[in-house]
Amino acid sequence: MSSPSQFRRIAGRSVSAIGLGCMNLSHAYGVPPPEADAQRLLLRALNLGVTLFDTAALYGFGANEELVGRTLATHRQRFFLASKCGMQGVNGTRVIDGRAATIKATCEDSLRRLRTDHIDLYYLHRWDKNVPIEESVGAMADLVREGKIGSIGLSEVSSATLRRAHAVHPVAALQSEYSLWSREPELGPLQTCRELGVAFVAFSPLGRGFLGGTLQEVASLDAKDIRKTMPRFAPEAYASNLRMLSAAREIAHEARCTMAQLALAWLLARGDDIIPIPGTVQIAHLEDDLGAGRVTLDAGQVARLEAAFAREHIVGARYNAASLAEVDSEAYPA
């Protein structure tokens, strides 16, 4: 197999083949790093050639957008900025709200926090199932016409919902979880994206740290770490899931790469319309992740990887029942 391109396209714009998911710097994985460390990581990513930075109103209830704005506003012409609406903090509580007025108000707040006059790609973070997708996307289309956002994205929606949204206004990108151990996008969304010309942005491409091979036990995770709520990270399930990594270690050794690079290289090889956005709080991990673009896997290695991570080997769902009820994306039968 040939080496993947170092660039991908979203909404007619060229972006780095590997972007940066900024969530970890403010949200979901326990105590965030000190701001100075987070700023150094963002600037290091920019200087290493990352041109896609992904944040959201939800992350840190606005704190992540503020961090990105403070750190990168003076470099705004050097990168493609993505953020999200439709799920945010309201009086300290996470709320899903896809009403037109809320989307427009959230965008104004995000522009202020990000210190910019436009967001290149604006996602509906979650489809509010109490509001027709057409209404939410219609509000986002108004924002495009007003020049406040450049293009529209959706997150964690099904092929059917993507088609409904695309009929209202062209959708530039679909963002969903996709990795060796979360392959639900292959149930239809990837094919629909290719049919419609929609880029696919893969969040949690390293399986929330699992595929990096360094998280050997979960008991020490911070009490507020989001993985504590996920069935496949429950201690007994996780101990079983760790067995899948032995084959990956062998293939990584053959390919002369790290485990994280192997997982990202697999995703990059799935198609030049797929853009993984790993997140990290450590510069060493950032540098390691970006090295995945230099890794080439042959067809035999890909087949062995996919066999090792076959669905029947994975113990536990990717989300708990409450979180699964909030997403609209396709899922394997229980």
- Give the integer Cα–Cα distance in Å for 139 and 333: 34
Phi/psi at 228 (5° precision): -60, -25
CA distance 106 to 101: 9
Residue 2 pLDDT greater than 50, yes or no: no
pLDDT at 274 over 80: yes
Residue from 5, 307, 331 nearest 186 by CA? 331
Q: Which of 29, 59, 178, 238 is catalytic?
A: 59
List beta partners, residue 271: none
Q: Which amino acid belongs to residue 171? A: V
**CA-based nearest residue to 150, from 15, 291, 295:** 15
Closest to 28 measured CA to CA, from 68, 69, 67, 58: 58
Token pair 């903090």 in the structure block, residue? 89
Give the confidence band of 5 by pLDDT, cuts at 50, 70, 90: low
Mean pLDDT of 111-127: 98
Q: Is 306 a residue whose pLDDT tops 90? A: yes
CATH class of 7-207+270-295: alpha beta
Question: Does the pLDDT value for residue 1 go beyond 80?
Answer: no
pTM summary value: 0.97
Tokens coding 311: 């669905």
> How big, in percent rounded to 5, are the helix, strand and coil portions of the chain?
50, 20, 35
The predicted structure's pLDDT at residue 4: 56
Encoded amino acid at 264, one letter? L
Could you read off the pLDDT of 27-85 as tens digits, one per residue? 999 999 999 999 999 999 999 999 999 999 999 999 999 999 999 999 999 999 999 99
User: What is the C-alpha separation between 247 and 215, in angstroms, rounded?
Assistant: 16
pLDDT value of residue 333: 85
Domain boundaries, the chain: 7-207+270-295
Helices in 73-168 by DSSP H: which ranges?
Answer: 100-114, 133-145, 159-168
Closest to 206 measured CA to CA, from 147, 118, 267: 267
8 φ/ψ angles, rounded to the nearest 5 degrees:
-135, 175
- Angle at the Cα of 309 (from 229 to 270), degrees rounded to 5? 105
pLDDT tens profile 142-193: 999 999 999 999 999 999 999 999 999 999 999 999 999 999 999 999 999 9
Question: Do the strands 20-21 and 52-54 form a parallel or antiparallel pair, or are they unpaired?
Answer: parallel
User: Would you call 59 a catalytic residue per the annotation?
Assistant: yes
